[in-house]
Amino acid sequence: MSAPTLDRPTPVRRTLPGPDGLAWTVLRLHRTALWVWTGYAVVSLGLLLWLWGPGSSTAQHAFDAWGYDGSQDEAHRGASTTLPFADTFDNVFYAPLTLTRITAYAVAVFAAGPLIGRELELGTAQLAWTQSVSPVRWLAAKLAVPALLVTVGTGLIVILYRVVWNARGHLLVAGIGPRDFNFSIGPATVANALFGLAFGVLAALILRRTLPALAVAGVGQFLVGRFRGNSWPFQGRYQQPEIPVHSRAITSDGAEIRDPDCFPDQSCLDQHHVTGFTREYLSSPDYWPRQLTETGILLGLTVLAVVAAFLVLRRYQPKHVKPNPPGTKKAAA
């Protein structure tokens, strides 16, 4: 007679944070958007690292030799104040800034379309609500997962951008560009992307149609961008305060003089005994007050949009039938 065998207890399945979790489901469902977002972040960070390192070597060497700040008096106002290497470095430097500004629009459109609007229109959201996922948990996951990815990705880009600005900003051609960049990159950039996410979700929940929600989200984000650019404390690029700039030419005896605007004339440099150039963008006293005010307003609007989204969700969420408690018998027909 064989000895009786004891059955092993069935292990309890873990739903979070394993592959069956709701957050993981959101990532798998929108994996294409995840790969696109990851590619955008990697390309932007890689380009900034290149600008921080080898990408600035040619511009730095040419700046040390010639400078390109130029004189701005009446005698030299019509003269060219840039060189090809300066224009090239400028164009590459501002490329991630352009992508970062598009981010808020892209996030708003994604939230209004594939994230929420398409699922409401096709009925897949309602199907999920009748299963094991409540509407509140469904919406919370739809907001939390993209918000985390947007915050991390945009935050890393903003931080590295400021590092590159502090280390290589002197190679940019003086004028509107550096001033516009200085007041555009900061915590408000992250807050703007989060507002795009919340506003897109709210538009999709209200309209419940993909194309109208996409249009409303895009127009809404455009209006916010216009407000940021033309209203206090988000003054337009031509209304922003000047950034203090310390730019001088260095002579052979170590003295700092005004840039004689000699490039690319070596004889002129020799005549003024110029051996190098220096330039530094000083910190603006308006930067942090403007950034913190803008960030606070955008985060406040984001919170309002999220609260409104949950309130809208309560209006048409299905009524769930409560199951019988364990151990009770069904009523006889």
Q: Are residues 210 and 251 in the same domain?
A: no
- Domains in the chain, number: 2
Q: Are residues 185 and 203 in the same domain?
A: yes
Q: Are residues 270 and 140 in the same domain?
A: no
- Work out the pLDDT band at 69, boundaries 50, 70, 90: low
pLDDT digits 0-9 by tens, 155-174: 999 999 999 999 998 888 77
pLDDT digits 0-9 by tens, 284-321: 777 888 889 889 999 999 999 999 999 999 876 555 44
Q: Residue 193: is its pLDDT beyond 90?
A: yes
Mean pLDDT of 109-136: 88
Q: Residue 87: is its pLDDT beyond 70?
A: no
Q: Residue 327: is its pLDDT beyond 70?
A: no
Residue 331 covered by a domain: no
Lowest mean pLDDT among 122-136, 194-208, 243-257: 243-257
- Work out the pLDDT band at 151, boundaries 50, 70, 90: very high
Residue 332 covered by a domain: no
Residue 51 covered by a domain: no
CB 174 within 8 A of CB 245: yes
Domain that holds residue 189: 84-243+291-317
Q: Are residues 157 and 254 in the same domain?
A: no
User: Token digits for 283?
Assistant: 């910190």
Q: Are residues 237 and 253 in the same domain?
A: no
- d(CA 112, CA 199) in angstroms, rounded, equals 8
Total-model pTM? 0.79
Q: Are residues 188 and 257 in the same domain?
A: no
Residue 310 covered by a domain: yes
Would you list the DSSP string of 194-219? HHHHHHHHHHHHHH--HHHHHHHHHH
Q: Residue 75: is its pLDDT beyond 70?
A: no
Q: Are residues 109 and 214 in the same domain?
A: yes
Q: Are residues 277 and 312 in the same domain?
A: no
Q: Are residues 152 and 299 in the same domain?
A: yes
- d(CA 173, CA 179) in angstroms, rounded, equals 11
Contacts of 15 (CB under 8 A, 6+ apart): 21
Q: Are residues 147 and 295 in the same domain?
A: yes
Residue 296 covered by a domain: yes
Q: Are residues 302 and 273 in the same domain?
A: no
What's the sign of the alpha-carbon dihedral 119, 124, 130, 134? negative
Identify the residue whose tokens are 């989060």: 194
Mean pLDDT of 259-274: 74
- Give the up-direction half-sphere exposure of residue 40: CA atoms within 13 A in the CB hemisphere: 23
- d(CA 166, CA 178) in angstroms, rounded, equals 11
The CA-atom distances, in angstroms, between 139 and each of 145, 184, 304 are: 10, 31, 15
